[in-house]
Structure 1
Amino acid sequence: MKQQTLLSLPLLLGAAFARPVALEGIIMKREVPQEHSHNQFLATVNTNLKTNNPAGIIDAVFGLLGNAAAAAGQGTITDTDCLQQATADQAFTNAKAASDIPGMTAALIYRALERNTGKVGLASNSCTTITAVNPEIAAISQHQDPASTGAAAINKAIVLELAKQIASVGGNPQDALKSGTFAPGSLSDNTGKGNTCDTADDVVGCIFSQNLLVEDATAAEISAAVAGVAPAATAAPAASSTPATAGSCSVAAPVASSAAPASSAAPVSSAAPVSSAASASPAATAGAASTSTLDFGTCTDPAIVFGPGFDGRTEESFEPANLSQFNHGSADNIKVITGFIISQLQSSCKASAAAISAAEAAATTANALTGQAAANAWNSALGVSA
């Protein structure tokens, strides 16, 4: 994607953003940006963002701009590379609190959209300093310029993961294809034009109305990717009563609805969670042998397993050992699973403050590792084994 040049930062900062998108178009000197190409999702995210916006993000459009321009609208977000994620995360939290599945879906798609960069073929930076509150958002990264190195494979992987997360909140996973970007531009194009569009008043988005979207996967590939993802009940988001709760929408309803019996059933039937996990994935059959002195509340088994075969995957991935208590699909990155488990310990399990603190410390260690070593670090820190 191509970046716009900020003409007057003081003017932008001092402006009254009654219509931030329109005003931005006046102040910015543009090459060939495309932050309005997917306007239908941008508008929905903006609506949800502004229902509760503690970071003071000026407008969702800033998350799709290049860093020089984006910094003017990032509010108290400290890393501009993380503005798109932070915007999506807050919008998702707000939509989840309102049981708004289309809103959550839009936030997920927005997180996957390509950001402006300085020239054709230049990839945008990843967010590495801030972890999303919602594991569904944390699982996704932004599309990269289609002319950048490895973009086809990178963007396809993003879309397939996006489809899983959309399915997990009860949305239509095929909508993940709408996050796609444009055909690759020429690396020898010194004008920075590329293949883009940027029509601010196109309600749907010019990439759709001008038929410029290049889909990254097929409908069949999307269906195959989400085959192991259980759709969430539409009531799932309602289980989160405050924006601070970051549990997965795919499991909030089942966990919340079973919270009462779990407190009485857990002591007498540890076999039930094992059986449930075994039916869902081959590597989760053992459950966890807990020697922990930590109080996990109504939950007993926060262990993480690592291996092949989860959700029909051929590659190795992470997932909770006990899918009855922590019902979340597998993920390539352990931080998606650690973040979800911590969220559930806080919200549904009602774990002690000491247990949550220990889990947060364990996540810091595990998230810096890969493979079995990451799972081992988490389990060892919490006194469980899978």
Structure 2
Amino acid sequence: MKNSLILSLPFLISISSATPIQRSHIHRREVPQEHSHEAILRTVNTLLKTNNPDNIQDAVFGLLGNAAASTGQGNIADTDCLQQATADQAFTNAKAASDTPGMTAALLYRALERNTGKVGLASTPCTALTATNPEIAALTQHQDPASADAAQGNKALTLELARQIASVGGDPLDALKAGTFAPGDVNDPTARGNSCDDADDAQGCIESLGLRVDDATEAEIRDAVAGAGGAGAEADAGAGTMTMTVMSDVPVASTAVDPAAAVVGCGAPGATAAVVATPTPTPTPTAVADPAPADATALDLGLCADPTIVFGGPFDGRKEDAFQPADTATFTHGSALGIKVITDFICQQLEVKCKASADAIAACNQGAADAQGAQGQGAADAFNRALGF
């Protein structure tokens, strides 16, 4: 973004929660663009006004240059942090209402480009204030695409934004909607970039005019959301290893089972020598293979019944095995090659959507940590066990 605006005093008296800035109260700038992503701005403004303890005058101020933004920052001490503070409060309000689209909009708003004084000038990041929501704290704003290292920085931001959107149950591809314009001419004295600004375009003129430049491809976003551990999901433990793991986890009290039959029942004939060498009798294969019913846990899961994860496929048209929630109707998230994105989503939903107990949320977080030390079905089992399944 380019030049800042100058506001007259009457403008500061009152701003409606869903009303765009009235141009009659503004000395026009050459290249305003704070309304370029109007759909996001309107959603965040509505959320902000539902609970606004810092008296931020309007969400649009967070997208302006500091001179103009300071007149509407309310109790926020550092103008460089106004955009983050606005996004943080909107996210908090959406989270309290279990509003996934609202949380997504707050994340997108946090990543939008702010106004600066000329083409190629980057805005100052917020360093004086830490967001209360880690999803917001993980983000910063897009920078003027003509500024130094903007392409690399904006792409990294978009991929992180996708991960945060996925963590709250939104569509990670929506991260592209926070993209900005094509780079302008840094030598243009009019500061006329490739922007647009239309407070009456509910969709956002950057979308309706086709001016948005994507920072990443859909494939790059999907890979980023799958996580660094995604490749491990394809390499599940071998049959012999699985047999040994299952046997080591079961009680040793039963003596009525033929150990050789148990090996065949687990589907690991190639591992017979390693298993038979163990003198401990094993239970029937059925007792090992069948999972406990979904209502077996003693934890209070609130409004939800089955937060478990399954591993296999094909899910979502994938060719490789992947992880996904067992109850996709309640936990509305697609599959992922890495389990972390699924565990993080389920634990977040247990708190926000399910209203589960503190013990259940703690168990979920422990299960998420346990799952990181395993692969494939072993990772899903580790998570499910921590929740009592």
1:252 aligns to 2:361 (yes or no): no
What is the correspondence of 1:98-117 to structure 2 with a 5 Å cutoff? Answer: 98-117=97-116
**TM-aligned CA deviation for residue 33 of structure 1:** 1.1
Note if contact 1:66-1:116 (Cα within 8 Å) is conserved in structure 2. yes
Note if contact 2:7-2:68 (Cα within 8 Å) is conserved in structure 1. no
Partners of 1:274 and 1:31 in 2: CA distance: 52
Secondary structure at the aligned position of 1:140 is classed as: coil
1:278 aligns to 2:378 (yes or no): no
Note if contact 1:126-1:141 (Cα within 8 Å) is conserved in structure 2. yes
- Give the match for residue 128 of structure 1: 127
- Give the match for residue 339 of structure 2: none
Secondary structure at the aligned position of 1:22 is classed as: coil
Partners of 1:75 and 1:234 in 2: CA distance: 41
What is the correspondence of 1:58-73 to structure 2 with a 5 Å cutoff? Answer: 58-73=57-72
Note if contact 1:4-1:29 (Cα within 8 Å) is conserved in structure 2. no
- Give the match for residue 244 of structure 1: none
Q: Given the superposition, is the C-alpha separation of residues 36 and 20 from structure 1 closer, same or farther in structure 2, using an over 3 Å criterion?
A: same
- Give the match for residue 143 of structure 1: 142
1:180-224 deviations in Å (ceiling 9; x for gaps): 000000011110111000011000000000000000000000000
**TM-aligned CA deviation for residue 3 of structure 1:** 1.9
Note if contact 1:173-1:226 (Cα within 8 Å) is conserved in structure 2. yes
> 2:347 is aligned with what amino acid?
V
What is the correspondence of 1:194-273 to structure 2 with a 5 Å cutoff? Answer: 194-228=193-227, 251-254=347-350, 257=356, 259-260=358-359
TM-score, normalised relative to structure 2: 0.63
Note if contact 1:170-1:231 (Cα within 8 Å) is conserved in structure 2. no
1:23 aligns to 2:32 (yes or no): no
Partners of 1:120 and 1:323 in 2: CA distance: 49
Q: Given the superposition, is the C-alpha separation of residues 324 and 192 from structure 1 closer, same or farther in structure 2, using an over 3 Å criterion?
A: farther
**TM-aligned CA deviation for residue 276 of structure 1:** 2.6
**TM-aligned CA deviation for residue 252 of structure 1:** 2.9
> 2:175 is aligned with what amino acid?
A
- After superposing the two structures, state which structure 1 stretch, 226-235 or 189-198, moved more: 226-235
1:110-134 deviations in Å (ceiling 9; x for gaps): 0000000000000000000000000
- Give the match for residue 4 of structure 1: 4
1:24-61 deviations in Å (ceiling 9; x for gaps): 55323312011100011111101111111111111111
Partners of 2:63 and 2:85 in 1: CA distance: 12
- Give the match for residue 191 of structure 2: 192
**TM-aligned CA deviation for residue 280 of structure 1:** 6.8
Q: Given the superposition, is the C-alpha separation of residues 139 and 274 from structure 1 closer, same or farther in structure 2, using an over 3 Å criterion?
A: closer
1:142-176 deviations in Å (ceiling 9; x for gaps): 00000000000000000000000000000000000
Q: Given the superposition, is the C-alpha separation of residues 261 and 223 from structure 1 closer, same or farther in structure 2, using an over 3 Å criterion?
A: closer
Secondary structure at the aligned position of 2:144 is classed as: coil
> 2:15 is aligned with what amino acid?
F
- Structure number with bigger Rg: 2
What is the correspondence of 1:261-340 to structure 2 with a 5 Å cutoff? Answer: 275-279=370-374
Note if contact 2:5-2:26 (Cα within 8 Å) is conserved in structure 1. no
1:35 aligns to 2:130 (yes or no): no
Q: Given the superposition, is the C-alpha separation of residues 188 and 275 from structure 1 closer, same or farther in structure 2, using an over 3 Å criterion?
A: closer
**TM-aligned CA deviation for residue 62 of structure 1:** 0.6
Secondary structure at the aligned position of 1:193 is classed as: coil
RMSD between aligned alpha carbons?
3.3
Q: Given the superposition, is the C-alpha separation of residues 234 and 125 from structure 1 closer, same or farther in structure 2, using an over 3 Å criterion?
A: farther
Q: Given the superposition, is the C-alpha separation of residues 103 and 275 from structure 1 closer, same or farther in structure 2, using an over 3 Å criterion?
A: closer
> 1:74 is aligned with what amino acid?
Q
Note if contact 2:121-2:144 (Cα within 8 Å) is conserved in structure 1. yes
Q: Given the superposition, is the C-alpha separation of residues 172 and 273 from structure 1 closer, same or farther in structure 2, using an over 3 Å criterion?
A: closer
List runs of 5+ in structure 2 lacking aligned partners. 231-322, 332-343
What is the percentage of aligned positions where both structures have the same residue?
59
- Give the match for residue 56 of structure 2: 57
> 2:140 is aligned with what amino acid?
S
Q: How many residues align?
A: 271
Q: Given the superposition, is the C-alpha separation of residues 209 and 262 from structure 1 closer, same or farther in structure 2, using an over 3 Å criterion?
A: closer
Q: Given the superposition, is the C-alpha separation of residues 191 and 275 from structure 1 closer, same or farther in structure 2, using an over 3 Å criterion?
A: closer
Partners of 2:87 and 2:361 in 1: CA distance: 33
- Give the match for residue 76 of structure 2: 77
Note if contact 1:276-1:324 (Cα within 8 Å) is conserved in structure 2. no
Partners of 1:201 and 1:326 in 2: CA distance: 51
> 2:214 is aligned with what amino acid?
E
List runs of 5+ in structure 1 lacking aligned partners. 237-247, 286-321, 328-386
Q: Given the superposition, is the C-alpha separation of residues 250 and 56 from structure 1 closer, same or farther in structure 2, using an over 3 Å criterion?
A: farther
Note if contact 1:163-1:222 (Cα within 8 Å) is conserved in structure 2. yes
**TM-aligned CA deviation for residue 7 of structure 1:** 4.7
Secondary structure at the aligned position of 2:141 is classed as: coil
Partners of 2:194 and 2:361 in 1: CA distance: 54
Partners of 2:358 and 2:35 in 1: CA distance: 43
TM-score, normalised relative to structure 1: 0.63
